[in-house]
């Protein structure tokens, strides 16, 4: 048995090596080597694949297109075909190829977010709209296409080379919580508290004014203070959640509790003592130089720990500037890869991957962790009710489980308040967790250690 796979390639390019490493290391768990010498390839006695423009003989051959052998970014005249009853890209017409499309070029185009480097019309927050994406327009946004293709190719390779040992990753589930506003009414400071009362008066909302008073006087729990529920739920289901905290000055789109507030700082420290914590960069930090560096430093001081994880507030992601900024600030893992407007797989994969900087043409050290569903997408953008939202979660979770991928959910602390617009969503959070758990991870009805 062996876990090494050899590729014959026309020439070494950063793009090609990047996507081969992703397939072999991330998707398959095998070692990979590359040669350009045909005689060396022919004489090799182990599992091997030829990726190129014409076959040598009867070897396992995958026909290539040009995308991985050029530099620069330009509009692509994309052609589409069909494979596994799903859309495919970069079709090839080579009878010797085991596939009818260039799986590596297609995967690189999608995972590098090539289309987001091209000119596009931004939404009101400056984001790349989901509706502009190739995946949305060709109806495969809700399919982890790269993972599907990788599994299919692995099965073909295994049929020819039974001695090759794959080490496929196991399915995983990670709940993540964004804290845009830790409290709805408490700990806001005098001016913002008075502003809340004035708004209630203007709207003639007497009931909310009374509630605000009860909350401030500690006679009622703040509706956004759902942290006890979240911690109890995650402990019950033996989950390791991620919390991303907005730790910034007040602004039009940045409205968390003041960072100097002692109760807020105590909460942040408690969360960090019990969960992984990352920065939720302020909306303003996208346009004000040095602001994100300050936010990371202040959060790090508050939790007495280095900050290495991040998710963009409003999911504002500018290729490649956002990721370059994170790398320069020693962020190692980002969780922003997903859309606000649509659920699904923005990079056409559920698995973590290294960010490839297309402008600089090199593989970076920043690991991208795609999320598949944000609760606000279902509630606010798609106006789904609780049951419809649950079915949407189920569909995505089933897709991820089918490829043994990684499912990351995105919720906010206020969305499990079970109040007002989020009535019924707390129960939905639990139902989603129970659906997303690995089947063999835990049976809530049995004692620990029982199967």
List, for residues 116-174, the tens digit of each pLDDT value: 999 999 999 999 999 999 999 999 999 999 999 999 999 999 999 999 999 999 999 99
Report the C-alpha gap between 225 and 65 in whole angstroms: 53
Residues 48-99 pLDDT 10s: 999 999 999 999 999 999 999 999 999 999 999 999 999 999 999 999 999 9
CA atoms within 13 A of residue 337's CA, in its CB half-sphere: 31
Q: Specify if 165 maps to a domain.
A: no
Confidence of residue 304 (pLDDT cuts 50, 70, 90): very high
Pairing of strands 86-89, 80-83: antiparallel
Whether 333 and 317 map to the same domain: the answer is yes
CATH number of the CATH domain containing 309: 3.20.20.370
Residues 213 and 229 in one domain: no
The mean pLDDT value of the chain amounts to 94
Q: Is the pLDDT of residue 448 over 70?
A: no
Same domain, 85 and 125: yes
pTM over 0.85: yes
Q: Does the residue 448 lie in any domain?
A: no
| pLDDT given for residue 263 in this prediction | 95
| pLDDT tens by residue, 352-393 | 999 999 999 999 999 999 999 999 999 999 999 999 999 999
Range of the domain at 207: 186-221
Question: Using an 8 Å Cβ cutoff, are 209 and 245 in contact?
Answer: no
Looking at the structure, tell me whether residues 34 and 120 fall in a common domain. yes
- In a shared domain, residues 112 and 152: yes
Q: Are residues 263 and 352 in the same domain?
A: yes
Residues 33 and 117 in one domain: yes
**Residue 212 pLDDT > 80:** no
Count Cα neighbours of 157 within 13 Å in the Cβ-side half-sphere: 25
Cα distances from 393 to residues 67, 194, 339, 408, in angstroms, run: 35, 39, 15, 11
Q: Which runs of consecutive H residues, i.e. helices, occur in 161-284?
A: 190-202, 206-216, 227-236, 262-274
Count of domains for the chain: 3
Question: Are 199 and 125 within one domain?
Answer: no
Q: Are residues 212 and 89 located together in one domain of the fold?
A: no
Whether residues 65 and 200 share a domain: the answer is: no
Rounded to 10 degrees, the C-alpha dihedral 228/413/439/447 comes to: 0
Distance CA 312, CA 410 (A): 12
In a domain, 447, yes or no: no
Kindly state the percentage of the chain with pLDDT values over 90. Answer: 88
Same domain, 283 and 215: no
Burial (0-12, 13-18, 19+ Cβ within 10 Å), 402: middle
Q: Which of 207-211, 284-288, 413-417 has the lowest mean pLDDT?
A: 207-211
Determine, yes or no, domain membership for 271. yes
Q: What are the angstrom distances between the C-alpha of 286 and each of 189, 245, 277, 321, 322? A: 26, 16, 21, 9, 8
Kindly state whether residues 180 and 202 are assigned to the same domain: no
- pLDDT tens sequence across 228-238: 999 999 999 99
């Amino acid at each position: 048995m062996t876990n090494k796979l050899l590729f014959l390639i026309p020439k070494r390019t950063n793009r090609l090596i990047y996507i081969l490493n992703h397939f072999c290391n991330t998707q398959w768990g095998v070692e990979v080597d590359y040669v350009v010498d045909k005689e060396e390839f022919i004489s090799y006695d182990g599992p091997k694949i030829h990726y190129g423009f014409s076959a040598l003989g009867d070897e396992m051959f995958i026909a290539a297109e040009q995308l991985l052998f050029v530099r620069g970014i330009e509009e692509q005249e994309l052609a589409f075909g069909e494979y596994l009853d799903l859309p495919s890209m970069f079709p090839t017409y080579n009878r010797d190829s085991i596939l009818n499309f260039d799986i590596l070029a297609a995967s690189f185009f999608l995972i590098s977010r090539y289309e987001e480097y091209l000119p596009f019309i931004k939404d009101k927050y400056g984001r790349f709209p989901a509706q502009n994406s190739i995946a949305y327009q060709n109806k495969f946004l809700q399919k982890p296409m790269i993972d599907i293709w990788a599994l299919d190719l692995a099965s073909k390779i295994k049929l020819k080379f039974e001695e090759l040992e794959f080490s496929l990753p196991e399915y995983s589930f990670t709940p993540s919580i964004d804290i845009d506003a830790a409290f709805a009414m408490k700990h806001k400071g005098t001016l913002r508290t008075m502003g809340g009362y004035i708004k209630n008066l203007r709207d003639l909302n007497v009931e909310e004014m009374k509630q605000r008073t009860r909350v401030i006087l500690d006679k009622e729990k703040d509706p956004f203070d759902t942290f006890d529920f979240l911690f109890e739920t995650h402990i019950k289901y033996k989950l390791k959640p991620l919390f991303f905290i907005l730790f910034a000055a007040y602004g039009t789109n940045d409205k968390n509790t003041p960072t100097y507030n002692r109760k807020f700082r105590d909460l942040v420290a408690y969360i960090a003592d019990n969960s992984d914590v990352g920065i939720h960069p302020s909306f303003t930090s996208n346009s004000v130089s040095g602001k994100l560096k300050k936010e990371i430093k202040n959060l790090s001081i508050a939790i007495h720990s280095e900050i290495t994880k991040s998710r963009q507030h409003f999911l504002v992601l500018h290729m490649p500037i956002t990721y370059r900024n994170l790398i320069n600030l020693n962020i190692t893992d980002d969780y922003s890869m997903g859309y606000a407007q649509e659920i699904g797989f923005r990079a056409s994969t559920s698995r973590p991957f290294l960010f490839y900087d297309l402008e600089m043409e090199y593989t970076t050290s920043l690991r991208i962790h795609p999320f598949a569903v944000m609760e606000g997408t279902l509630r606010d953008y798609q106006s789904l009710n609780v049951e419809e939202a649950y079915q949407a979660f189920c569909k995505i979770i089933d897709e991820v489980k089918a490829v043994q991928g990684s499912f990351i959910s995105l919720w906010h602390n206020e969305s499990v308040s079970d109040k007002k617009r989020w009535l019924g969503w707390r129960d939905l959070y639990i139902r989603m967790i129970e659906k997303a758990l690995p089947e063999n991870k835990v049976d809530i009805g049995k004692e620990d250690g029982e199967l």
